[in-house]
A = this chain, B = another copy of it.
Amino acid sequence: MTPISNARVLFSAVPKETTVYDISQTIDLESVALNGGFLIKTLVLSIDPYMRGRMTSPDVKSYSVPFALGAPIVGYGVGVVLRSDHRDVAKGKYVYGRIIPHQEYSVLPNLEGLIFLEKDPHLNWTVYVGAAGMPGKKAYMGWKEFSQAKKGEVAFITTGAGTMMIQLAKRDGLKVIASAGSEEKVEFVKEIGADVAFNYKTTDTREILAREGPIDIYWDNVGGDVLDAALEHAAIYGRFLECGMISDLNNIYAKSLTMHGIMVMRLQPKYDTEFYVTIPRALAAGEIKYSEEVSRGLGTVGHAILRVQEGTNTAKAVVVVADE
Contact = CB atoms under 8 A, between A and B. Distances in A.
A324 B40 CA distance: 11
Contacts of A234: 251, 255, 257
B290 A131 contact: yes
A228 to B, nearest CB: 8
B43 A321 contact: yes
A152 interface: no
Nearest to A100: B321
Contacts of A243: 262
A255 B241 contact: no
A236 B308 CA distance: 35
Contacts of A289: 163, 167, 191-192
Interface in A132-173: 132, 134-138, 140-142, 144-146, 161, 163-164, 167-168
Contacts of A274: 144
Interface string A229-262: 0011011111111110000010111111111111
State the copy count for this chain: 2
A258 B147 CA distance: 10
A275 B266 CA distance: 35
Contact of A284 (B122, B181, B239, B291): B122
Contact of A131 (B17, B261, B316): B316
Nearest to A252: B261
Nearest to A278: B140
Given A163-B290, A317-B47, A251 B231 contact: yes
A53 to B, nearest CB: 11
A104 B145 contact: no
Contacts of A37: none
Contact of A47 (B115, B238, B283, B318): B318
B280 A319 contact: no
Contact of A240 (B259, B281, B301): B259
A90 interface: no
A48 B313 CA distance: 11
A102 interface: yes
Given A9-B298, A19-B305, A132-B280, 6 more contacts: A19-B302, A45-B319, A47-B317, A132-B283, A144-B271, A258-B261
29 contacts: A9-B298, A16-B306, A16-B309, A47-B301, A47-B307, A47-B318, A47-B319, A52-B309, A73-B301, A115-B272, A120-B280, A120-B281, A125-B320, A126-B292, A126-B320, A130-B318, A137-B271, A140-B278, A145-B260, A145-B271, A163-B290, A181-B311, A234-B251, A234-B255, A237-B257, A239-B257, A254-B263, A258-B261, A259-B259
